Structure 1
Amino acid sequence: MFSSVPERVQLHIAMIIFQIGYAGNHIILRIALNVGISKLVFLIYRITIGLLLLSPFAYFLEKKDRPALNASFVLQFFFLGLVGIVLNNGSYFIGLENTSPVFASTIENSVPAITFALAAIFRIEEVNLRRNDGLAKVFGTFACVAGALIITLYRGPIIYSPDSVSLQPESMILQDDSEVKNWTLGCVSLIVHCVCWASWIVLQAPVVKNYPARLSIACYTFLSGLMQFLAIAACTEREIQAWKIHSQSELLCVLYAGVVASGLALAVQIWVVERGGPMLVAAYLPLQTLVAAVMASVFLREAFSLGSIVGAVSIILGLYLVVWGKNKENKLKSETGPLRARLQKNCLPDHEKSFLVEPLMVSSNNF
């Protein structure tokens, strides 16, 4: 039945399901912090599950495309694991612990804009301020940065606070622990998380160019990050109790994060990027924020302040400016591409030809 649906409709359905599923991941991770599971052990279990799910597909589907490993590739995968897994996850958990799932999801909307800014700095992405698309991408980036700063520096009055009655049992509820939270530390950590994530995307560009096996890159990145986390755990988590699953809540959190967020979500996202382009993924990011806000209000009794709402609106508007600018640029390239290709082939030496590799991942913490 689903095969009879046009592919463009399938892509949109996949992105809606993906964003709803990943919005739940923010809530699940906050519950994991509530029930007391070791953050480091949780990440190790989550990455292991994701790696086990993806490895068979990478091995069998990319046999012909996967180059042999060498010292250069191993070093590149090490840095991808360090930036995209270790630093990214570490800063995310610190940020989530000191803020909330809604703010974590909101600030993540700035990742495409930060990615564009970094790609422009390293001349991977084209910026033409004489065209509307270039101006839109620049102003969109500034709007995202401004929104993140507003959320960090200004909270303001509470606009909405849910009823005290929750649908969840007390063991699963996030209590009002604002007194022990460091809001500034949490927001700064989430910004660092977004910068690490964007850097990870940009770092993938030269790797994908020389190693055209995206699932294998993801698996090697998972493996590198897992080995680095295990090295850290060898020094910090020596008690056997820290590695045990003590309750159904912990087991649910680990399985959901590993299967849904790290395994299935990554597979869906790669398929959407391949068929619909990375900007389609970015365009659906605000849906994740909306769903996360509803879930947090219902299950975690989340309250919303004026600063968070203003910052969220600024980030989402900035995101859409970047998406619009990128789509406009892609249409222009598709119209002038054949002529430009002929000019480059006939007039430019190989070392002066620029390249832009589509990022492996655009949205969410899929590791």
Structure 2
Amino acid sequence: MRRSGEEKVAWRYFSRDVVPFTAMITVECATVGSNTLFKAATLRGLSFYVFVFYSYLVSTLLLLPLSFIFGRSKRLPPSKYPLFFKIFLVGLLGLISQIAGCKGIEYSSPTLSSAISNLTPAFTFTLAVIFRMEQVRLMSSETQAKILGAILSISGALVIVLYKGPKVLAAASFTLPSPPTISLRHQQMTSFESSWIIGGLLLASQYFIISVIYILQTWIMEAYPEKIRVVFFYNLIATLMSAPVCFFAESNLTSWVLKPDISLAAIVYSGVFVSLFSALTHTWGLHLKGPVYVSLFRPLSIAIAVAMGAIFLGDALHLGSVIGSVILCFGFYTVIWGKARENSTNAVAGCEHSPLLLTHVAEDEHLLVRYDLCK
């Protein structure tokens, strides 16, 4: 009997903690990979408007059969208009954030995008507090830690955007370039530095919009927990809205002709692993764990982006990025500590009124069993 209870607790811990944790890390790897491929494709001439439209189109076409195969026949809520309006808003905001993010990466780099993504936990926590999805007790150490962490995250992002600094780690070069190449490289770096702040601001706006989307998706999942169909509908909305916008902005018809090169690879990868896989995983995580938990994994993308940028794009690491990232990570872990303490406190408080807990505590003194039985 005791072994059966321990196995049940172990499975509950695996399904509610290990699987979401692994899935969120996988999503961050997929997102950084998409950003790196997109940056490499833009250096080969890919228009980001073409990238945005085709990415949404690929995910929508893949989700169409999946929504019928795996979508359960769960009834819609009695009041359907608020649900459809929220899905429409998610599609619209998703399109805006995608365009802002692609343009921001075009101006800067995937590494900066990953660094600025550390603002997502701060933005999400602030919005969750405003909409009463997170508890705020100003006198408690948990709330103070979360507020301090949010402030540090924003401060670190500002350091990265406003202060670039000297190079700490330059890309390796195995051949000496000729003088004309050096001159061209100097001109490119000068142009790159002048657009650094613009790219940072665009990326910051992208991750603020993503935080708003997390809040909206959480509400949608509470009313209609059909993950595949919800993701399909807002991808369809984004595809339909992006068509006129992108075709108007990119009027050169030759840009819309795709060839089997890195541009096609970037579009297919983004459509499958970002617009489809990442969207489904985030929607599932929002339903299971809430918006703050999902947003806390954004800072992990920094190390992934730095490695991929150095290997595939030849990006250099600057002092401002290092200082800002350290501040961001410190703020990130401060928020995590506060969130963990709050969850632990709530779990123990709820256990005081549970007779089932007292029985199992008498049999097993492990804190893991105590904590999971209270969930």
TM-score, structure 2 normalization: 0.78
Q: Which amino acid aligns with 1:93?
A: C
Equivalent residue for 2:165? Answer: 156
Q: Indicate yes or no: 2:231 matched with 1:224.
A: no
Q: In angstroms, what is the RMSD of aligned CA positions? A: 2.8
User: Quick one: distance in 2 between partners of 1:260 and 1:204?
Assistant: 19
Q: Indicate yes or no: 2:57 matched with 1:48.
A: yes
| Cα displacement (A) at 1:32 | 2.1
Q: Indicate yes or no: 2:315 matched with 1:306.
A: no
Equivalent residue for 2:48? Answer: 39
**2:203 paired residue among 163, 182, 190:** 190
Structure 2 residue matching 1:145: 3-state secondary structure: helix
Q: Indicate yes or no: 2:303 matched with 1:294.
A: no
Equivalent residue for 2:89? Answer: 79
Structure 2 residue matching 1:64: 3-state secondary structure: coil
Equivalent residue for 2:72? Answer: 63
| Cα displacement (A) at 1:158 | 1.3
| Cα displacement (A) at 1:74 | 3.0
Q: Which amino acid aligns with 2:190?
A: E
User: Quick one: distance in 2 between partners of 1:331 and 1:56?
Assistant: 42
**1:201 paired residue among 214, 217, 220:** 214
The structure-2 alpha-carbon separation of the partners of 1:24 and 1:165, relative to structure 1 and needing over 3 Å to count, comes to: farther
Equivalent residue for 1:241? Answer: 254
Structure 1 residue matching 2:76: 3-state secondary structure: coil
The structure-2 alpha-carbon separation of the partners of 1:97 and 1:13, relative to structure 1 and needing over 3 Å to count, comes to: same
**1:88 paired residue among 82, 97, 101:** 97
Equivalent residue for 1:358? Answer: none
| Cα displacement (A) at 1:10 | 5.0
Structure 2 residue matching 1:159: 3-state secondary structure: strand
Equivalent residue for 1:285? Answer: 298
User: Quick one: distance in 1 between partners of 2:24 and 2:131?
Assistant: 30
Q: Which amino acid aligns with 2:256?
A: W
Equivalent residue for 1:355? Answer: none
Equivalent residue for 1:350? Answer: none
The structure-2 alpha-carbon separation of the partners of 1:233 and 1:11, relative to structure 1 and needing over 3 Å to count, comes to: closer
User: Quick one: distance in 2 between partners of 1:339 and 1:224?
Assistant: 47
Contact 1:110 1:319 in 2 (8 A): no
Contact 1:44 1:230 in 2 (8 A): yes
Contact 1:20 1:288 in 2 (8 A): yes
Q: Percent identical across equivalent pairs?
A: 28
User: Quick one: distance in 2 between partners of 1:75 and 1:284?
Assistant: 28
User: Quick one: distance in 2 between partners of 1:274 and 1:207?
Assistant: 9
5+ residue gaps in structure 2? 1-10, 176-184, 354-375
Structure 1 residue matching 2:315: 3-state secondary structure: coil
Structure 1 residue matching 2:118: 3-state secondary structure: helix
Structure 1 residue matching 2:34: 3-state secondary structure: helix
Q: Indicate yes or no: 2:191 matched with 1:180.
A: yes
TM-score, structure 1 normalization: 0.80
Deviations 1:228-269 (A, max 9, x none): 111213433344322210341111111111122222333444
Q: Indicate yes or no: 2:351 matched with 1:322.
A: no
Deviations 1:203-236 (A, max 9, x none): 2333333223233222221111111111213433
| Cα displacement (A) at 1:335 | 3.1
Contact 1:66 1:213 in 2 (8 A): no
Q: How many residues align?
A: 328
User: Quick one: distance in 2 between partners of 1:302 and 1:269?
Assistant: 29
5+ residue gaps in structure 1? 167-174, 341-367
Q: Which segment drifts farther, 305-314 or 326-335?
A: 326-335
The structure-2 alpha-carbon separation of the partners of 1:70 and 1:276, relative to structure 1 and needing over 3 Å to count, comes to: closer
Larger Rg: 2
Equivalent residue for 1:351? Answer: none
**2:128 paired residue among 119, 131, 136:** 119
User: Quick one: distance in 2 between partners of 1:271 and 1:70?
Assistant: 21
Deviations 1:163-191 (A, max 9, x none): 1249xxxxxxxx77332231111111111
